[in-house]
Structure 1
Amino acid sequence: MSTIQFLKTRFRFTFWPTVFTIPAILLTIGLGTWQVQRLAWKTALIADREAALSAPPAAIPDSGEGAQALDFHRVAGEGTFDNDKELYIGAFSTRDVEGYQVVTPFRLADGKIVLVNRGWVPEARKDPAKRPEGEIQGSTTLDGILRVPVVPKSIFSWLVPTPVNRPNENFWFYVDVPGMVAKVGLDPAQVLPFYIEAGPAKNPGGFPVGGQTRIALPNDHLQYAITWYSFAIILAAIYFIYHYRKPGPAPEGK
């Protein structure tokens, strides 16, 4: 029996199920393909970050243009911390202990200033007087990860708005270079438009705890792709089963 004959005798098309099911199958196949593309993009991004972090430290760039190519790269330079101008980002430790990440201006030898996220301190050690050993004085070497600032956004931002920094309370949800510079009274012309997250080297006294850079990215796109393609297969199977009719008994005498 030819395919056309099979369709005529075994397959019974109906209008509305076809109108709804075929576009749904095409949509799920499209979403699965999109997730495959996202998987390739995310895998390459993770590989780029890991390669950048394993490379030798570069010099701290002197402009925003130079920083774009060094996002998530190690950088190093000499300078001094302005410890009396600390800023605080609300954060939890890896053990879900409430605390803050301490951001401190760092004056480079050429006169430029860069904000440095020195790491995490618990709520009880927020006051610098309670961690005096960690308030490094004089010239020191900074080794950390360069970060280009971005305002964090969720795909559900329409439902849950992005938290707003509270400069008057010196409480921040994310690094806002212009806002932080204004808060501590620095000259914006001297401040570089990026920031650095300190590396994991232990500070005197143990605080702040550096090495807070998060390079791990969720990469669940393969599972999502499999899910969408599975939906397409299930819809196609249901559509076929619904429209397929078994052959009836042969007429008598045949």
Structure 2
Amino acid sequence: MSDPKAARFPWGLTVASLFALGLLVSLGGWQVQRLQWKQDLIARAEAAAGLPPVSLEALAQMPDPEFRTAVLACDFQNQPYVELQSIQDGQPGVRLISSCDGWLVDLGFVPEAVSARPAQQPAAIPAITAQARRVEAPGAFAPPPEGNRFYARDSGAMSRTLGVEGPVRPYVLFATGSAWPQWQALTPSAPPAAFSNNHLGYALTWFGLALALVGFYIALLRRKLTS
């Protein structure tokens, strides 16, 4: 005679619960890995903030120059740039992208309402500083550029448009000083280094859901086998 309890054992529920438990634990573990990565990123940014600026030649020799500040001596007022559609503080506009000794340089944000661009200047301006930041390649569905106007930070296409020779670097130099001091519409800025770090909370949430699932399964199993 077969065991009636074995016949009532919820195999389907067990398999589904094990699958869900594995998924929740995996998501929790992934957030723990993200936490470690984010803490390392924040530590690197804070350490780099206290270091003096270096030359572009020294920057190019670093295996990972992200967050380091470099001195740029290029005459941005008398060389071409492209415009990247952007939003800053809720305001639409563009970021002007130029180049300096083989590096792409983000010169800053200009509001969309400002249509005028400064005329070229006969004299070079003083050197400015810029911070190296890693940028990701745009996705396959990113809109293509329209002439001088870009809608995604496509470093390869921008380099070709600007005539930058050599391999495309995975970093962009974000100016922290103005290439046009007399042009108030241009706001140079680097991406904020104050990274949000909520990964521990996310990990605890996923692991908490996993424990709740285990408790729910045990309670349901007991009820099933004792009914």
State the TM-score, normalizing by the size of structure 1: 0.71
**Equivalent residue in structure 1 for 2:143, among 153, 164, 167:** 164
Q: Deviations over 1:10-39 (max 9, x none)?
A: xx8533322222332233223212211221
SS in 1 for 2:95: strand
C-alpha spacing 1:225/1:59, structure 2 compared with 1 (3 Å)? same
C-alpha deviation, 1:50, in angstroms: 2.5
Deviations along 1:58-99, one digit per CA (max 9) or x if unpaired, are 2113785x25421221111323225341210111121x1111
Aligned partners of 2:28, 2:97: CA distance in 1, in Å? Answer: 42
**1:222 has 2:200 as partner:** yes
- Could you say what the CA RMSD is over the residues aligned between the two structures, in angstroms? 3.3
Q: Distance in 2 between matches of 1:203 and 1:243?
A: 72
The answer on whether the counterparts of 2:159 and 2:168 sit within 8 Å (CA) in structure 1 is no
Distance 2:115 2:99 in 1: 17
1:26 and 1:113 mapped to 2: Cα distance? 47
Residue 105 of structure 2: aligned partner? 116
Given that 2:35 and 2:200 are in contact with CA atoms closer than 8 Å, whether structure 1 keeps it comes out as yes
Structure 2 residue 87 is matched with structure 1 residue 99: no
Residue type at the aligned position of 2:193: I
The change in CA–CA distance for 1:101 and 1:53 in structure 2 (over 3 A counts) is same
User: Partner amino acid for 1:243?
Assistant: L
- Runs (4+) of structure 1 exceeding 6 A deviation are none
CA–CA separation in structure 1 for the residues paired with 2:66 and 2:124:
27
Residue 4 of structure 2 corresponds to none
> How many residue pairs get matched?
217
Distance 1:79 1:192, change over 3 A: farther
Return the alpha-carbon distance in structure 2 between the equivalents of residues 105 and 183 of structure 1: 11
**2:47 corresponding residue in structure 1:** 51
Partner of 1:71: 66
CA distance in 1, matches of 2:76, 2:91: 26
1:147 equivalent to 2:138? Answer: no
SS of the aligned residue for 1:70 comes to coil
Distance 1:61 1:173, change over 3 A: farther
Larger radius of gyration: 1
TM-score by length of 2: 0.78
Q: Which residue number corresponds to residue 81 of structure 1? A: 76
1:29 is matched with 25
Note closer, same or farther for the CA distance 1:174–1:49 as it changes in structure 2 (3 Å cut). Answer: farther
Q: 1:137 to 1:180 in 2, by over 3 A?
A: farther
SS in 2 for 1:103: strand
Quick check: 1:146–1:197 contact (8 Å CA) kept in 2? Answer: yes
Match of 1:208 in 2: 186
What is the aligned partner in structure 2 of residue 252 from structure 1? none
C-alpha distance in 2 between matches for 1:85 and 1:39: 41
Does the aligned pair in 2 maintain the 1:74–1:143 contact within 8 Å?
yes
Q: Note the C-alpha offset of 1:197.
A: 0.8
Distance in 2, matches of 1:142 and 1:221, equals 36
Sequence identity, in percent? 25
CA contact (8 A) 2:44 2:67 kept: no
Give a deviation string over 1:97-129, Cα, whole Å, max 9, x none. Answer: 1111112234xxxxx353321101112324314
In structure 2, the gaps of 5 or more residues are 1-7
